[in-house]
Structure 1
Amino acid sequence: MAACTWSAYANANYPNKSIRFIVPYAAGGSTDTTARLIAKGLGDQLGQTIVVENRVGAGGTIGQDAVSKAAADGYTLLFSAAGPLTVTPHAYSSLPYDPKTAFTPIKLVAQAPLVLVANPELNLKSVQDLVTRAKDKPGVVSYASFGVGSAAHLAGELFKSLTGVDVMHVPYKGSAPGLIDVIGGQVDVMFDVVVSALPHVQAGKLVPLAITLSTRSQLMPDVPTMQEAGINGFEAGTWFGLLGPQGLPDSVVTQLSSAMDKVLADEKIQEALIAQGADVAQGTPDDFAKFFLAEYEKWGKVAKIAGLQSQ
């Protein structure tokens, strides 16, 4: 009884000390940048300092494992992205945690599309032009990605499965070298994050063919979505979410979710996310939980088609 009373008291007084955001990526990347932006806003709402801690390695699983083993008291939270949560787990034969049950979803923070870009010398005006060329020359058309198992790789595999084309995957260690080779003509097309591709599009070095989410990008409003371009069922990209360890008390989840609603309603936060090529997400913790499981199953199927090797 005493333990239950103390637990209820602790939850009622949450938070009464600093909170950790564990980010499974290195400092400086989009996940880390977004986490620090949200941490400042959430800390202001809760009246506590939120410290961002980068735990990198093994495709994000090291940081996520640390959160899965943390106390479910709301003082250690996970700020992660689509890749480590719903793609990378399918590349491992075993993990020290169950990706589907190890975490308590709190808030889907933002979603960011990719953009399909092509070398201008290919003279492609639309996605259908690309499909036609790929069907005329099976295995000849190539697409770059920023790594095996990355969002860009899986977007390419989803494109192949929905259109029936045979295109060659050329992985790179990051976005920049892939873009350089598409611009140089060594590779034909690439799925890349909007903010990375945008300067090259504006300079006329790349041709944008489609946005990979169901709504157009505010940074590229004239570029159609994949569905508008005739590829039904195509939805890919990345997203950012806030989660806690399994068993996080409902009262803590509710408090954090309500505070996050206020953070995400802030115009300055919204403008900062848009500048990163992302749009603020909407929904409850339950909505996020359903979305997460659907994404996990979806990308598991695509990863199987792609033949990701278990490690």
Structure 2
Amino acid sequence: MQRRTVLQAAALAGVSPLAFAQAYPNKPVRLIVPFAPGGTTDIIARIVSERMNAILGQTMVVENKAGGGGTVGATEIARAAADGYTLGVATVSTTAANPAINKKIAYNPLTDFTPVINIAATPNVIAVHPSFPAKDYKSFVAELKKNPGKHSYASSGTGGIGHLQMELYKTLAGVFVLHIPYRGAGPALNDTVAGQVPVIFDNLPSALPFIKDGRLVPIVVASSQRVAALPNVPTFKEVGLEPVNRMAYYGIHAPKALPRDIVDKINAAVRKALENPDVKKRIEDTGSLIVANTPEQFAAQIAAEFEVYKKVVAQQKLSLD
């Protein structure tokens, strides 16, 4: 219906649908990041949007809309006009983990958005403040088992991927750590680096600079293989917890019913941006892997991840209460 309305408007104005798509964009484009500045979602969005300004011939304005584990920003994306001038960053937290645990969110992750492209896949990491009594996985799990409830961990928000992955880890490893949710990875990292919270489960790109500076100590990563930047840090699979070994994704989606011509134009622009050596290097330097897939492939990834976390929530009896 929305596509028909947009194209009918173009026809009434004497403009063909093809010309309408070719004219896009003729004004600045909003890119909503559903988390606070400083986290991985924000980092990747800004790297790509900087290059897309030149490719699209219009400014792409990044807006941070934090809150609700990403659902505040995601809701704004879903409710926007399907004209290509409001886009958003789709994450596992906003399209799978949070919808799986929060039955009251105002959108359906599978029907209220138009998937456009998955930009990159990213490992997640459990890291600790240097003052934490453990510096490797074996001593880390021993410390948690020795002192159940003594320690707490920070995440980007309730219902986010860091929250659900850590809760899954806790159940499988037989440990208890208190959850401290934040309004994004940036604030969570700041408090962990400051020593106010001893443990964090975060996306690697936002945590890696602090790890390299010695302000955080990596314990275990969720990745298909060991990360080149952290060669001595095991994966969850290596420590016998393969179900926790899931990578995050960072893509672009739009409100539902975005005309396919505009979807294809945005997809092509992102692909072109990712072909730039500087953009590619900056993303890969964060520990992420370039994906750059089709809208259909990204839609399938979102659906598959949503199913995984619905099962996690059901099996572990997780709730927001």
On whether the aligned pair clears a TM of 0.5, the verdict is yes
TM-score (norm 1): 0.80
Could you tell me which of 69, 75, 83 is aligned with 1:65? 75
The CA deviation string for residues 115-160 of structure 1, in whole angstroms up to 9 with x for no partner, is 22356874564x456556666x483674512243333222211213
Q: How does 1:1-311 map to 2 (within 5 A)?
A: 3=8, 6=11, 8-18=17-27, 19-118=29-128, 122=133, 125=136, 127=137, 130=140, 137=146, 139=148, 142=151, 144-146=153-155, 147-163=157-173, 165-171=174-180, 173=182, 174-181=188-195, 187=198, 189-195=199-205, 197-198=207-208, 201-202=211-212, 207-304=217-314, 305=316, 307-309=318-320
Which secondary structure state, in structure 1, belongs to the residue aligned with residue 238 of structure 2? coil
Cα distance in structure 1, aligned partners of 2:102 and 2:117? 26
| Distance 1:11-1:133 versus aligned 2 partners, 3 A rule | same
Contact 1:45 1:259 (C-alpha < 8 Å) held by counterparts: yes
- Shift of residue 199, structure 1, vs aligned partner: 5.7
Which secondary structure state, in structure 2, belongs to the residue aligned with residue 32 of structure 1? helix
RMSD: 3.3
The CA deviation string for residues 189-220 of structure 1, in whole angstroms up to 9 with x for no partner, is 54234355546655667543321121333432
The number of residue pairs the alignment matches comes to: 303
* Gaps in structure 1 of 5+ consecutive residues: none
> Identity over the aligned pairs, expressed in percent?
31
| Distance 1:215-1:265 versus aligned 2 partners, 3 A rule | farther
Structure 2 counterpart of 1:178, one-letter code: T
Structure 2 counterpart of 1:153, one-letter code: H
TM-score (norm 2): 0.78
Contact 2:34 2:71 (C-alpha < 8 Å) held by counterparts: yes
| Distance 1:300-1:143 versus aligned 2 partners, 3 A rule | farther
Cα distance in structure 2, aligned partners of 1:4 and 1:150? 39
Structure 2 counterpart of 1:37, one-letter code: I
- Shift of residue 105, structure 1, vs aligned partner: 0.6
| Distance 1:14-1:217 versus aligned 2 partners, 3 A rule | farther
Which secondary structure state, in structure 2, belongs to the residue aligned with residue 53 of structure 1? strand
| Distance 1:267-1:221 versus aligned 2 partners, 3 A rule | farther
Cα distance in structure 1, aligned partners of 2:267 and 2:100? 28
Cα distance in structure 2, aligned partners of 1:47 and 1:203? 38
Cα distance in structure 2, aligned partners of 1:206 and 1:34? 21
Contact 1:213 1:234 (C-alpha < 8 Å) held by counterparts: no
Cα distance in structure 2, aligned partners of 1:35 and 1:117? 23
